[in-house]
Structure 1
């Protein structure tokens, strides 16, 4: 069944009307959505532990040693391997890469910097397993996109011996936990509203400054980052910070590909294959990663 973005909006509104909006309810709903999403053909999923629980997602066609480290979204408070499996698998197929998706620790039980600590553990594990840095791409959506960017910054600043990842693809990424951008404050985005986003930022930061560059990569010095793909939806709450990040990175000399998808809402990618623009955006991510990772 195919839907357009207005039908997707109506579907979300109907689901929220009777939803359990407790944290447990949101986590369960995200898992249920992930479980219901149709997986692409020709993909194997295998549980693993690299110091952080995770799973390997391997498509039938893999180019060489190309490997992606994938971070799910959910505002650092929700999301899981299950909720993001469809997206990660479709990116694996589109990029012809093995994907390691990790279950990083969540707030409020485990606030900042738990998630970025787990991300670094996973990256280090890949390197210790013999995967070359030039064969590793970092990928994530929403909070996971911010986490992918934060990991690239942390490797650059604290662990340069691990080697710089080949590229980062970040979609609908949360890059500034200050939550002050116009597109968020005025959002008509059913999946990214100002009030809930502020609450998630407070839970994750637990009193620490939102300007910490590993919490809000937009506040970092961006020089020396690998090639970036930044995708935002034209109608999403995080549009402005994504555009600002791409501009700042480009001015710092980073190779940046920026895409704004008209009318799309936050993390529209989750609606593949129902929404053609979701499938198209995931295919663009795959093409970018084929060009930049493990060449």
Structure 2
């Protein structure tokens, strides 16, 4: 883990070309180009549909058993798709040995809040109804996708659905009020965002609605009953406190949570796998967490007495 690698990643972000007054289509195309990474040879992808929305199935050669990952991409609820994040998702699943379904949830401004949450919950429900056992299901997402993971878990709990085996969130955006102290303390360290840039994502997503609503900003949600969480973030990001406060709220609500802050790296630094040692180490950690969660869920299901209560009770 070298300082030279971290400095190169920082410079890459700070020196990225900026198009003046881009259209929404140009922003989306630029985001896709910036994140584009090839799929590894040992991961296959095919387009599918989940709960009425386009999705991308990713299956690594290492996949074994019935475990499944439901993935939500980042992009501020305005940009991105399963395709923009396919290389990143593939790196995670090949390490975890899990098949993944990455959802193309609806984006703002065409579809403001709560469209993304509705799609996330519908996808989660569809996997359960399709025979995926909750103890063999895990969730993951980065940035806005990480916030959407937590919101989906809260919505699923409130809908009476069983919780999955666990979830990983990378640099989650969990406070659309932009109320974290790191919004000020990390403004010079963050090579990607300014407060104004984040507000430019929040405004079309919220479309005038209260940013402190728990499903829009899950750092304010009641997290009781959620599954084990792994929260990863970099110390050089405005959204650092979104991750720290999420972990604190989860702990206060009796959720098993692990917070891992990697020093001197930026927002969703895991995207720099292959070029930044911290990125590969973080993906390895996340993959271990996901595969261990699935294995623990299976073991708990085997040990549960017939008719007993638990996250898989009442499911075939």
Query: Where on the TM-score scale, by shorter chain, does this alignment land: which range?
Result: over 0.9
Could you tell me how far apart the structure 2 residues matched to 1:21 and 1:5 are? 29
Could you tell me how far apart the structure 2 residues matched to 1:179 and 1:136 are? 31
Could you tell me how far apart the structure 1 residues matched to 2:203 and 2:97 are? 38
Change (3 A) 1:5 1:26: farther
Instruction: Tell me the residue number matched to 1:246.
Output: 247
Instruction: Tell me the residue number matched to 1:49.
Output: 49
Could you tell me how far apart the structure 2 residues matched to 1:235 and 1:221 are? 28
Instruction: Tell me the residue number matched to 1:116.
Output: 117
TM-score by length of 2: 0.88
Change (3 A) 1:17 1:34: closer
Instruction: Tell me the residue number matched to 1:179.
Output: 178
Could you tell me how far apart the structure 2 residues matched to 1:48 and 1:137 are? 19
Question: Does residue 168 of structure 2 align to residue 169 of structure 1?
Answer: yes
3-state secondary structure, aligned to 2:260: strand
Q: Please list every run of 5 or more consecutive structure 1 residues that lacks an aligned counterpart in the other structure.
A: none
Aligned-residue CA RMSD (Å): 1.6
Instruction: Tell me the residue number matched to 2:300.
Output: none
Change (3 A) 1:142 1:254: same
3-state secondary structure, aligned to 2:102: strand
Could you tell me how far apart the structure 2 residues matched to 1:18 and 1:59 are? 37
- Equivalent residues, number: 291
1:11-32 deviation per Cα after TM superposition (whole angstroms, max 9, x unaligned): 2222234577443222101211
1:139-186 deviation per Cα after TM superposition (whole angstroms, max 9, x unaligned): 00000000000000000012x2x3111111001000110002121234
Q: Please list every run of 5 or more consecutive structure 2 residues that lacks an aligned counterpart in the other structure.
A: 297-316
Could you tell me how far apart the structure 2 residues matched to 1:93 and 1:192 are? 30
3-state secondary structure, aligned to 1:149: helix
Preserved contact between residue 236 and residue 266 of structure 1 (Cα < 8 Å): yes
Q: Cα offset for 1:278?
A: 1.1
TM-score by length of 1: 0.94
Greater gyration radius: 2
Could you tell me how far apart the structure 1 residues matched to 2:183 and 2:69 are? 29
Instruction: Tell me the residue number matched to 1:289.
Output: 290
Q: Cα offset for 1:41?
A: 3.0
Q: Cα offset for 1:92?
A: 0.6
Instruction: Tell me the residue number matched to 2:145.
Output: 144
